[in-house]
Amino acid sequence: MNDYLEQSRSLLKKFFGYDDFRVGQFDIISHILNHEDCLAVMPTGSGKSICYQIPSLILDGCCIVVSPLISLMKDQVDGLNEIGISSAFINSSLSSREYIKTVQNAAKGMYKIIYVAPERLDSDSFFELMSNLNISMFAIDEAHCVSRWGHDFRPSYTNISNVISRLSYRPVVAAFTATATEMVKKDIVSLLNLSNPFCLTTGFDRKNLSFSVETPTNRKKFIYSYVQSHLDDSGIVYCLTRKSVDDLYDNLLRLGVRASKYHAGMSDKDRSINQNDFVYDKTSVMVATNAFGMGIDKSNIRYVIHMNMPRDLESYYQEAGRAGRDGDVSSCILLFHRSDIMTNKFLIEQGSPYVDHSNEYKKLNDIVDYCNTDKCLRRYILEYFGESPVFDLCNNCSNCNSEIELTDITEDSKKILSCIKRMNERYGVGLVADVLKGSRSSKVIGFGFDKLSTYGIMSEYSKSTIKELISFLVSEGYIKNVGDKYPVLVLKPESNDVLFGGKQVFIKRKFEKSDSVVDSTFAKPVDMVLFDILKSLRVEVADKSGVPPFIVFTDVSLKYMASEYPVTVDDFLNIPGVGRFKMERYGFVFLDAVCKYVEDNNIVVDSSSCSQRNSVNKKSSDLEKESTRKISFDLYKSGKSILEIANIRGLTKQTIQNHLLDCYKNGFDLDLEKEIHTEYKDVICDAINTFGTDKLKPLKDAVPNAVSYLDIRYYIYELEKNNK
């Protein structure tokens, strides 16, 4: 076990830039390495993928990752290849030529990880490929898709276990999901045929996410205002219908917002272009139906707004969980209106008439209660998924972070409860509200409800207000909805405490606190000026490398740089998310930017902040230069050309030449003459003697075009050395 731990930690640091594992990660990794099947239920952003990526590097052979998310495959494969882990994906997005090349490379054992769509897994051609591969393990992502009790059932998932059983030997199988109730977990184990699996649920809490339920009079105005005040942040706005997406998108463009849109009514090409624009930070906000989101691995989404209430809490939590995957503070806002209930019921009823929809109606009632509760929203979510939070208030949701004004609604509650009782607990919220309001509808009169003592006793309220009060009493446990398509209101035993026991009922009216602030992840204040500089630099580096900006470094990594001020290579390697590979590929250009900012602003760096840190002065500047030169020197000595080193490090060719020349001057074992145009030695030396060495431009103009600045600097040094 200790051998596995040290080996796994070493790989974690080398490829991913982290010193230690998050909660639950090594538990899963160690059981996989012991060839035990696993089921891991871990929240979005907790690092589920590392749980199979690390074992795939240790085990002999390749790992097959089954995922329903085609675009997510590309993001993950791009990210893995960027950090030096050879990976590929096989799905319908590949051309025939790309598919053949990928299959040929896989057959040669060139990949450690292969992502595949579940539908492709069952094809004869892919099964033939698998039969000839040394498969170390299967990782089943989004494993909840196998269960009909889940919120995202995919029939193709039910055949995964059959495919695995047809192989000549059975690799270890690990299933992963972010959201699963106890019933769904049992389905995953059974339907994927996991063999005596190690099961781990690390918890569903996402402490960096702030949850809120809002009921604005005009939801569109709320969204326009919020998006315009967060123009520098990436965000997603989910809508229930394509029409709402189109309308919201058009209006955001008119307001000058860099927006994209995504729904099933668009062509594949347009959806792909818009998704890439969002992933690559070319647009700041994506307006989409729930068809969007699961298929991206974008880590720097700072807010997710639901314009409408989703159908169930699993869907909401998964969609809201697209925010803050990098661990930084993010917001999840649900805009609720009672009309959303009827819209979702209509969508449920559009499903197959031969399927029992009772579970869907139950889930709908659960999320309606979430929208109506005045208790802690985070606690409600965690209890829904079977957890028992140790806190009553999270201080990071709209209910906890609001000034509360208690309003006594005991008398109104008694009126509502009495009315339901007198209607024999046989009718739904609409008709009960009509009776309390005093409606003269044909149904009310026809049933004789206008003769009840409770008829019209709440006529001073609007019907929508009466419905909201009923929903509140449901969420507080005094009333329950019984039935699916047409639920009726039935009193729970707790209602007797109000009707006959003297219990008072209070509803809380929320007013946002002006001083509610989420604790930062960072021990020191983030220098937002430096953070913005690094974000701009990240866009440049990402464009040059052809990858999304968050793959270069996450927002969290940049914020650590902007709070810790790393000024040496060792310091920089201590930044979370900076591994050796990323240091060589991208790190030095960011390190240079931090050092320049520190020097330009006379910032004194605390020596205790990072390893071997000194006050920023000439000495620390020299130490840093020595470190970065040494890296270039080591790469050159390993056989890399100057141009190759420049590409690896994201620096200019001239910068690398300067590094090597400085190493040569400082006595490093370096034969630099092979890089010099020695045939122009006399011409260069004559120009130096004529024009001097104060400025290099006149020297460059006086020699042939083939002569480089490296040639000139080299012979300046040689002449100075010989004259000493």
The superfamily in CATH containing domain 528-723 is HRDC domain (1.10.150.80)
Rounded to the nearest angstrom, the gap between the alpha carbon of residue 676 and the centroid of all alpha carbons in its chain is 49
Is 373 in contact with 252 (CB distance < 8 Å)? no
pTM value is 0.62
Average pLDDT over residues 27-41: 94
Interval 445-454: pLDDT, tens: 999 999 999 9
> How much of the chain, in percent, has pLDDT values that exceed 70?
91
pLDDT at 390 over 90: no
Is 579 in contact with 560 (CB distance < 8 Å)? no
Q: Where in the chain is the domain with CATH 1.10.10.10?
A: 404-512
Q: Identify the band that residue 519 occupies on the pLDDT scale cut at 50, 70 and 90.
A: very low
Q: Identify the band that residue 153 occupies on the pLDDT scale cut at 50, 70 and 90.
A: confident
Q: Where in the chain is the domain with CATH 3.40.50.300?
A: 2-201, 209-401
Q: In this predicted model, which residue has the larger pLDDT, 291 or 155?
A: 155
Residue 529, Cβ neighbours under 10 Å: how many? 11
Cα separation, 136 vs 391, whole angstroms: 42
Amino acid at 307: M
Q: Identify the band that residue 215 occupies on the pLDDT scale cut at 50, 70 and 90.
A: confident
Average pLDDT over residues 367-379: 89
Give the domain 2-201 fold: Rossmann fold (3.40.50)
Cα separation, 129 vs 126, whole angstroms: 5
Pick the CATH number of 209-401 from 3.40.50.300, 3.50.30.10, 2.130.10.10, 3.40.50.1820: 3.40.50.300
Closest to 250 in 3D by CA, of 220, 279, 276, 278? 220
Interval 600-630: pLDDT, tens: 787 777 534 333 333 333 344 444 455 667 7
Q: Where in the chain is the domain with CATH 1.10.150.80?
A: 528-723
Average pLDDT over residues 119-147: 89
Mean pLDDT of the chain: 85
pLDDT at position 477 is: 83
Could you give the 3-state DSSP secondary structure of residue 204?
A: coil
Average pLDDT over residues 305-314: 92
> How much of the chain, in percent, has pLDDT values that exceed 90?
32
Which of 71-80, 343-352, 500-509 shows the lowest mean pLDDT across its residues?
A: 343-352
Average pLDDT over residues 574-583: 84
Instruction: Identify which of 55-59, 203-207, 622-626, 669-673 has the greatest average pLDDT.
Output: 55-59
Q: Identify the band that residue 155 occupies on the pLDDT scale cut at 50, 70 and 90.
A: confident
pLDDT at position 514 is: 37
Closest to 370 in 3D by CA, of 395, 408, 340? 340
Tell me the pairing of strands 479-482 and 488-491. antiparallel
pLDDT at 434 over 90: yes
pLDDT at position 496 is: 92
Report the Cα–Cα distance between both ends of the chain, in Å, rounded.
62
Strand partners, 335: 214
Interval 245-277: pLDDT, tens: 999 999 999 989 999 999 888 988 898 899 889
Cα separation, 483 vs 379, whole angstroms: 26
Cα separation, 71 vs 93, whole angstroms: 9
The highest-level CATH class for domain 404-512 is mainly alpha
- Sequence-ordered list of residues with C-beta below 8 angstroms from that of 47, at least 6 positions apart, any chain: 21, 22, 25
Interval 625-662: pLDDT, tens: 556 677 788 788 878 888 878 777 666 677 788 888 88
> Helices H, strands E: what count in the chain?
33, 17
pLDDT at 201 over 90: no
Is 615 in contact with 604 (CB distance < 8 Å)? yes
pLDDT at position 437 is: 92
pLDDT at 131 over 50: yes
pLDDT at position 517 is: 35
Average pLDDT over residues 691-706: 82
